[in-house]
Amino acid sequence: MKKVLMTIVMGLALTAVAPTMAAGNASAGKDKAAMCAACHGMDGNSPTNMFPKLAGQGEAYLVKQITEFKTGARKNAMMAPMVAGLSDQDIADLSAYFSSQKVTPGAVSEELVEAGQSLYRGGNKESGVPACMACHGPTGAGVPAAKWPALSGQYATYTEAQLNAFADGSRDNDPSSMMRDIASKMTADEIKAVSAFVSGLH
């Protein structure tokens, strides 16, 4: 628990000294979102689980992810060309727009609910996996000030893929290896269960 609290304090301290991002304009972002709609949906609720929902995601988190797709700090062959021509203002506007939208929660597989909820709310003391809600909140809303993402309503397939990517190190844009350390301690069944649980969390 001490480690989790220390991580939260460090995250908040880092955001306090982070450079100020351009102020986003949600109205302008709505006009620019047409280029994102085919994959992510016009309101950020993507029509297929192949692509993540952006609706309701933290604005600062979206700015970070889009910027890192653009710089290559987060690698994705599909996203890189889509964001290559975006200015800082475009990124801020899109992030403001999608963060202002409401995410639609998904259905949760009943057989995974109990295991997923247990891990999300209590972690796994034996393997050292902390409770997910310590950083992502009891309702999965995330911690916008620390740029920790909302998980509520996200497609289980996407969440599972990201946890596996953190676990094997193919995604490495997490501060201080925080998610890589956690995901690498999780079993495949735990990843599947918690991913299913958050898809219906709201």
Neighbours of 105 (CB within 10 A): 16
Instruction: State the total domains in the chain.
Output: 2
Provide φ and ψ at 124, rounded to 5°. Answer: -135, 100
CATH code for position 173 = 1.10.760.10
Range of the domain at 59: 25-99
Map tokens 């998980």 to a residue: 151
8 occurs within a structural domain: no
Confidence class of residue 1 from pLDDT cuts 50, 70 and 90?
very low
pTM for the complete prediction?
0.86
Predicted confidence (pLDDT) at residue 111 exceeds the cutoff of 80: yes
Q: How far is CA 59 from CA 38, 41, 45, 48, 139, in A?
A: 21, 17, 15, 22, 17
| pLDDT score for 20 | 54
CA atoms of 84 and 69, how far apart (whole Å): 8
pLDDT digits (tens, 9 = 90+) for 146-197: 999 999 999 999 999 999 999 999 999 999 999 999 999 999 999 999 999 9
